Chains A and B, each alone.
Chain A
Amino acid sequence: MTWKKMGMFSLIVLFSLFLVLPNLSLAQKEVKIGVILPLSGPLAPIGKSLKEGAELAADIVNKKYPGIGIPIAEWEGIPGLGGAKIKLIFSDSRGDPAWGAEQAKRLIEDEKVVGLMGAYQSAVTKTASVEAERAGIPFVNPDSTSPDLSKRGFKWFWRVTPHETWFTRDLFDFLDGLVAGKAQGVKAVPKSELEPLAVAAENTEWGAASLAEIEKFAKERGWKIAESFKYPHKATDLTSEARKLTASKAPTFLFASYVSDAILFIKALKEMKATPRLIWGQNAGFIQPDFWKTLGADVNGIVSRDVFSSVLGKVKPEADRINKIYKERSGFDFDGSSARDFIGVQVWAHALNAAKSTDPKALQKALNELHIPGKELIMPWKGVKFGSPFPGDTNQNELGSGIIIQYQGYPDGKPEIVFPFEMATSRLIYPFAGWK
């Protein structure tokens, strides 16, 4: 009899377990997000860091990370979906637009992902997002900066990062801010001290676009340009180009250059004992480790636009705490790319939470209405909110911004943030002290 009773009891327990199980399985439900990144080929190292940034964000959403200071760290899954976990399905774009589009298709049709993310290179993002648009699946792009991407009027494409136009506007906000006396530790600079500008840009698509943007903004904001030219990139010698800059007597030099040319320019200017008051680089060569490793103390005082700096933790303690975890996992600090892919997953988590469903239409609505305040982000942004910040933009984050860093105290220094002025981690060194 006892055995019979035991059997009965077991059956009842099992039965009640089955009753509870649907809830259990709901709690364990996964939401698949496809992530397309260049995981092989020359961009593989960057792809790997992007992947680690995204993985960390998913981990922070899925597990409890007390004390970080941002809401997703307390969630343990998506609250709006009954605690469902985010599962990232990574796919290698090989850096190839056609292959990237194939992968988007595969993720949507075979993996049945709820949405897509990626793809770093603007050309790959362009083709992969077409597949998402066709299928009516949301594509969140945290890391591509070609202005065209958000000007296609797509209904299923949201870009989180600021694009190139923005960064050039930042430069002019920085220059105008200097004149208005907004820079930390520098008195208002008379405009005549910074004007006219001299611009050198490499003759590639990117260099030409940068030059055109600078000329456009200079005209709009009333800054005179004394000299602007394109030069053959990866040149054997840039002395005559550097001479052209110094001969223009312009106090402000602006560059759009790859790293080898950036090095040649600075060396040539040093050789000529040039005395500009401000040197600004459009990202690229001016923020590569090779740039400051090669030039050492000669980089001090040079400013460059950037999207992220490891000293950001000084003004954003959350960023510092998350960076520490990231460094433990990956062995290096966040950079502008990995930090943006972290935010990409954060955007997905918030959208899924608000939509309370994985239905594409509900997600579309949630993304359109999304608002993440700046204090929850590890980037120096005012937040994430999609709109049309520049003419022609659709679903482009309006609250992003770039930063401008200044090399200080090299060869042992760090790039300090000097713009946005309210986020500055150090006083701006102005004017440029020249080379010894």
Chain B
Amino acid sequence: MELTAQLLVYGVLMGLIFALIALGLSLIFGVMNIVNFAHGEFLMMGMYIAYLLSTFLHLDPLISLPIAAGAGYLLGIGSYHILIHRILRGPMVAQLFGTFGLMLFLRYLAMYIFTPDVRSVKQGILVGKTLSMGWVNVDASKIFSAGVCLLAFAAIYWMIYRTKLGRGLRATSIDAEAAKYMGIDTKGMNALAWGIGGATVALAGALLAHFYYVTPTVGMLFTLIAFATVALGGFGSILGAFVAGIIIGLIMVISGQLVSELKFSFIYVVYFLVVVFRPRGLFGW
């Protein structure tokens, strides 16, 4: 019972972060059919924003959350306007290599500026605080992060399904050509998808920085998991990213308990099964 409770709590809390990381990736793919390899680097950048603001300006990492989200939004929009919309005209391979190049550029830029040293946020109201809930002791910042993830999902869900802007996004994702003829600014919608993608993943980064270390290559670890999450949940599905994130979190914790060495294999076994038996993912269309 104690074991079940602990695994459930740790799995769901970590899963919600995975879900928020995957959300942007899924959205960008859903709207534009393009895979953003630099997604993990956006995450890394969000983590560095929290780290820099906390270390040099002594701001609580909580304050860095909206700043990171804003910077992530700008980074997303900027990447779209400077790079992505140009390579969209090229073949599929060019698109793949384009975002791959962006990934390398951001990673090694960070390496150059920050050196490969491992760093972490040390001060903050929630940093390093532990809450005891019966059988389970949990880092307070993980619980807070889970709350923010839920809110972010609710906000994005509302935006996409209840607003005019969201309708535009959905229309673009279903049929960009038709949407264009209907007078929807599809280019603007694409940029918006990149903006939201950047904002959510940078927000996840700033949350993660509360309890995770920061280093230029940290994004790589999470990118692969995000790909599996998106595939499992279904490309372009917000609900899918949410559910799949939690499933991946649970698989990771439970398999870590059983055979730690194989825990990533378990994730990819599930991914493989989904690809074989339900290629559109749990909630994909």
Task: Please pick, from B7, B117, B122, B252, the residue contacting A296 in the complex, using a CB distance under 8 A.
Answer: B122
Tell me whether B163 is interfacial, beta carbon within 8 Å: no
Q: Which of A249-296 contact B (CB under 8 A)?
A: 259-260, 263-264, 267, 270-273, 288, 290, 293-296
CB pair B128–A232 under 8 Å, yes or no, is no
Tell me whether B45 is interfacial, beta carbon within 8 Å: no
A235 to B264, CA, bound (A): 9
Report the contact-size class of chain B (Cβ under 8 Å from the partner).
Answer: 35 or more
CB pair A241–B256 under 8 Å, yes or no, is yes
Tell me whether A231 is interfacial, beta carbon within 8 Å: yes
A270 to B132, CA, bound (A): 12
Task: Please pick, from B137, B222, B260, the residue contacting A236 in the complex, using a CB distance under 8 A.
Answer: B222
Chain A neighbourhood of B213, CB < 8 A: 260, 263-264, 294
Task: Please pick, from A244, A260, A298, the residue contacting B118 in the complex, using a CB distance under 8 A.
Answer: A260
Tell me whether B182 is interfacial, beta carbon within 8 Å: no
Chain B neighbourhood of A298, CB < 8 A: 128
CB pair B132–A240 under 8 Å, yes or no, is no
CB pair A232–B264 under 8 Å, yes or no, is yes
Chain B neighbourhood of A247, CB < 8 A: 3
A203 and B7 in contact, given A239-B14, A271-B139, A294-B118 (Cβ under 8 angstroms): no
Q: Which 7 A-B pairs have the closest CB atoms?
A: A240-B256, A290-B118, A231-B260, A240-B253, A271-B139, A294-B120, A239-B10
Closest-by-CB residue of A relative to B129 is A271
Closest-by-CB residue of B relative to A42 is B116
CB pair A229–B261 under 8 Å, yes or no, is yes
Tell me whether A237 is interfacial, beta carbon within 8 Å: yes
Whole-angstrom distance between the Cβ of A227 and the nearest chain B Cβ? 11
A239 to B263, CA, bound (A): 12
A240-B10, A267-B139 provided; 17 other pairs, C-beta below 8 A? A229-B261, A232-B261, A235-B263, A236-B225, A239-B14, A240-B254, A241-B256, A243-B6, A244-B257, A244-B260, A260-B215, A263-B213, A272-B137, A273-B130, A273-B137, A290-B118, A294-B213
Closest-by-CB residue of A relative to B258 is A240
Q: How many residues of A contact B (CB 8 A)?
A: 32
Tell me whether A230 is interfacial, beta carbon within 8 Å: yes
Chain B neighbourhood of A237, CB < 8 A: 14, 252-253, 256
Interface residues of B (CB under 8 A from A): 3, 6-7, 10, 14, 117-120, 122, 128, 130, 132, 137-139, 142, 211-213, 215, 221-222, 225, 252-257, 259-261, 263-264
Tell me whether A234 is interfacial, beta carbon within 8 Å: yes
Give 13 CB contacts A-B under 8 Å: A229-B260, A238-B256, A239-B256, A240-B254, A243-B10, A244-B257, A244-B260, A260-B118, A263-B118, A270-B128, A271-B130, A288-B118, A294-B118
Chain B neighbourhood of A232, CB < 8 A: 260-261, 263-264
Interface residues of A (CB under 8 A from B): 203, 229-232, 234-241, 243-244, 247, 259-260, 263-264, 267, 270-273, 288, 290, 293-296, 298
Whole-angstrom distance between the Cβ of A330 and the nearest chain B Cβ? 20
Chain A neighbourhood of B139, CB < 8 A: 267, 271
Chain A neighbourhood of B261, CB < 8 A: 203, 229-232
A260 to B220, CA, bound (A): 14
Closest-by-CB residue of B relative to A259 is B118
Q: Which of A232, A273, A298 has the most CB of B within 10 A?
A: A232
Whole-angstrom distance between the Cβ of A43 and the nearest chain B Cβ? 13
Chain A neighbourhood of B117, CB < 8 A: 290, 293
Q: Which of A239, A241, A293 has the most CB of B within 10 A?
A: A239
CB pair B130–A270 under 8 Å, yes or no, is yes
Whole-angstrom distance between the Cβ of A351 and the nearest chain B Cβ? 39
Closest-by-CB residue of B relative to A296 is B122
Chain B neighbourhood of A273, CB < 8 A: 130, 132, 137
Closest-by-CB residue of B relative to A436 is B128
CB pair B119–A231 under 8 Å, yes or no, is no
Chain B neighbourhood of A260, CB < 8 A: 118, 213, 215
Chain B neighbourhood of A240, CB < 8 A: 7, 10, 252-257, 260, 263
Closest-by-CB residue of A relative to B222 is A236
Chain B neighbourhood of A203, CB < 8 A: 261
A293 to B256, CA, bound (A): 28
A293 to B121, CA, bound (A): 11
Chain B neighbourhood of A239, CB < 8 A: 10, 14, 253, 256
A271 to B211, CA, bound (A): 10
